[in-house]
Amino acid sequence: MLALLSVSDKRGLVPFAQGLVRFGFTLLSTGGTLRALEAERIPARSVAEYTGMPEILGGRVKTLHPRIHGGILARPDLRSDRDELARHQIEPISLVAVNLYPFREAASSGASEHEVIEQIDIGGPTLIRAAAKNFAHVTAVVDPADYEAVLSELAEGAVSEKTRRRLMRKAFAHTAAYDAYIASYLSSRAGELFPEQLTLSFEKAQQLRYGENPHQRASFYREPVSSEAVTLSGSQVLQGKELSYNNLLDLDAALALLLEFPDRPCACIIKHNSPCGVAQGGDLASAYRAARSVDELSAFGGIVGLNREVDAATAEVLAETFLEAVIAPSYAEEARKRLAAKKNLRLLAAGDRLIGAHPQTGLQLRSIRGGLLIQEADSVEPHSEWKSVTRRSPTDEELAAMRFAWKVCKHVKSNAIVFSNADQLLAVGGGQTSRVDSVKIAVGRGGPRLRGSAMASDAFFPFRDGVDEAARAGASCVVQTGGSVRDDEVIAAANEHGMAMMFTGVRHFRH
């Protein structure tokens, strides 16, 4: 029996090869894999010796030969195939263990285009696809994690059809992902944000217990390319129950909101994918207390995001309320000890990259029936282009409050309305089909706290009624997109109430 081994990832190679030899396989190998086997005195024949054809073009051509691919693709149960093998002195190859040149690593390393292109594997995908196509007779192994299972079944006599089928599916997924990396790299190099043919590749990170509801199945997939971005897939789960689908959505919303406030300790509380508390403070504990005080009822069972290391004082305040999960850069030892008593509380460490990080660019993907919507992330904040449109310009304090409200507003479902001061969210209204209804909801929640506050609207006011409601609640200034056919009417309302109003020229719909 012949087995072909040609791997870039050499984890587990030696014991796997030793096991194959023990079970009667003759090994064929190439290049670095052959040298690794020879260094351990594992008997192996070079592909060049077996084919009678040396490696050429600097190693670009090694395994592209009829003696190799004929041996892999042959069907021993067909007499015609057996006769052809005999006529051409080709032996069947019953196991192929191949993984590919490290293209992904090269592409993300900052290497030159020439160096990256050289890491496009040609022979490897061909070997894998051939072995996978002929899974009825050949075992295709692309992942070192499968070596032990293959050896265990060989010890029982043969690799089962069930396992060969599983490895076949894995092999085709492996080569498809590899080609997707290449296509993505080339599109990026060409400056194509939205290529004509989009190929995506994600790795399964976690099987979830269920989706948004218990009757829906779900899984979490991560982008396999290493990134400097602050992500959930790059965060470490330190304790607590298994993360749910809804937990992950809310944790992602918390991260996105924290990135709006890099300069000071900040805390946010997310409930059903919308902020119900956001605040900055001189220290993390006071920021969290302020965020929780916005809506203590909604904070119960919420997701907390923090942009500084959790210290003992902050852990003490966190422990006062039932929470689903907390995500922060890291946790001091004393904080871990205090929160360990909350056994079901999920703690995630996003790493120090979260500290001081700003909103991130990139693409957002969303499925619809029969297709996929893709857009750039909403990360534009041209504060310098804001325009004062009322008789009274905002004070410095009002301008700071408007900027805080505007940053939070884009994380609230449209139609989004936010009231705040310079450091704290005061009330939220969102997800309504009428903008004035969002204002009324926020006013009802904020009450007397809204006196002297700033109001932000994620899009223009189509009528003056929203501004009138805000003025009655005591808001002193408004920031909004502008651009309505009734802008003059809305500006006049602000002037009547002595309010300052700024137009941003940017809309922040979140559907």
Q: Annotated catalytic sites, by residue?
A: 133, 272
Q: What whole-number distance in Å separates Cα of residue 26 and Cα of residue 42?
A: 10
User: What type of residue is 491?
Assistant: I
Strands (E), 20-117: 26-29, 45-46, 93-99
CA proximity to 150, closest of 203, 97, 75: 97
Cα torsion angle, 64, 67, 69, 70, sign: positive
CA proximity to 407, closest of 389, 423, 430, 385: 423
Q: What whole-number distance in Å separates Cα of residue 440 and Cα of residue 240?
A: 38
Q: What whole-number distance in Å separates Cα of residue 503 and Cα of residue 305?
A: 30
Q: What whole-number distance in Å separates Cα of residue 316 and Cα of residue 484?
A: 48
Strand 477-480 and strand 454-457: the pairing is parallel
Q: What whole-number distance in Å separates Cα of residue 178 and Cα of residue 141?
A: 15
Q: No. of H helices and E strands in the chain?
A: 19, 21
Q: What whole-number distance in Å separates Cα of residue 123 and Cα of residue 88?
A: 21
Residues 495 and 489 sit within 8 Å (Cβ to Cβ): no
Strand 266-271 and strand 302-306: the pairing is antiparallel
Q: Give phi and psi for 65, each to the nearest 5.
A: -150, 145
Strands (E), 356-396: 363-368, 371-376, 387-388
Residue where the block lists tokens 């990259």? 353
Max distance between CA atoms of the chain, in angstroms, equals 97
**384 CB-contact burial (10 Å; exposed 0-12 / middle 13-18 / buried 19+):** exposed
**Side-chain-facing half-sphere of 338: CA atoms under 13 Å:** 16
